[in-house]
Structure 1
Amino acid sequence: MIYTTITVTEEAGVGLIRLNRPTLMNALNAQMRAEITQAVRDLGTRARVLVMTGEGRAFCSGQDLGAGASINEIDLGRILREEYEPMLRAIHECPVPVIAAVNGVAAGAGANLALAADVVIATQSAVFLQAFARIGLIPDAGGTYWLPRLVGFARAMGQSLFAGPVTADEAAATGLIWASVPDDQFAAEWQARAAQLAQGPTLAYGAIKRALRASMTADLDSQLDTEARLQGEMGATRDFREGVMAFLEKRPAKFEGR
């Protein structure tokens, strides 16, 4: 695919997807959703970590309300099922860690695009905004799934009903995201985290993702079964053997992602 709304690079095991509609605050249109979906699927088979960030002053302002059909003709249900769902599933099911490096405002579907990632690192000046109620809608793009699981029912309800901004510091303090980083340290932080994951035990990271996601709906017995099955698989990897040898030899491990 030739990308026109995002830029895609890959270096040292890090696949970088940069939303690239800065004059529209990286608002999501159909083309961008398709390109993100394809890029995640492609990079997930080659890179050892994926990073999504935005070009310019915003991460993503959400749905491009000026794109496509008129307000009287727009079919939001179809758009969610046919365009958003494949994108979100591609991120959710990506076999390698996905970092959202939120460089500015993340609003509406843009906020929930970030929350679909495994780890969210935000610059301190960023804000997260569930803006849907402002235009008579409910949180979508996975918002009603992620929010209560990340911050609890009461905060999820308040963010959805009042539709007010949540600062990066508040988001980190309440568990909505992993970290809020001073603006002048933001790029260095997410790049260092991406490099760390790109050099780590890639198969184990994928298994961690599967295990933790399974736990969201599992009872204890089924989760213990999941742990035993996945740990058995990880125990047969070259990275496990390398990790043990490195520990015994008191040296840094050199993981291959195998």
Structure 2
Amino acid sequence: MSATRWTAPGGAWIVTPAVAGDRFAKARESGAAVTLVDLEDSVAPQHKDLARERAADFFTTADPAGPLPGIRINSLLTLTGIRDLAALTDYPCRPPLVLLPKVESARDIEIAAAALDADGYAPQIWALIETPRAIDKAPSIVATPRLAGVLFGAADYAAITGAGRTWPALLHARSVLANSAAAAGIAAVDSPWFELGDTDGLRREAELARELGFTGKAAVHPSQVPVITEAFRPTDAELAQARAIVDARTHTGSSITSVRGQMVGAPFYAAAQALTDRTDHTP
């Protein structure tokens, strides 16, 4: 299985414990754009070896026409993480996407790429940014050539800083990460919403994340996937406006023109073109 058969879309990412093989099918059928099998936080220390073994089946049975499958390994600063990395090289079907937790240096991405890249195989490597040091180092981390995107880890960041997990408390960290990712031309995915019973809160936070420039948001339960997917999907009105701007620029060739009563120039055109491209290339 080649990693190049998939591209990483935005929208909802769902995380499934590697030891819970009975949940694999449900994760794939949740409607998420990306399904991550987890070797890290959701797996107890005594079950790490078992998790590595079971995770291999997650990719052996993956459908290339379905959601992008990936894996979150343990930190490469731990022996467990090094064992995870070594195990991936022996999987009969290797993961198209690898998420590295606790990244605080570009070196983590370089180590993972050196260990994993092989003839016909170069997985998307994503960094989980979840510490104050990682936020400080974000510009240098995102500049790493083999990095495909970043995911914000609100829970760990809040625990380390003593901040609340509210939107205002974490706005600075999110803004730094979204800006750094945009500057490097890579995607940024927002942290999960942990209050399972608060659908309205999830929707509000997903909409705010999209406005800030995030391309998706992680989910901790299948019930959250439709809410996240809807929040990151452009409305009919937004898409119609974007297509009108693209059409106007194509036909007028003007750097500044008027579309439906709105003055638009090059930045508006670039944003509209990006929106229509993402929509037209999403299955």
Pairwise TM-score range, normalised by the shorter structure: 0.3 to 0.5
- Give the alignment's TM-score, normalised by structure 2: 0.33
Give the alignment's TM-score, normalised by structure 1: 0.36
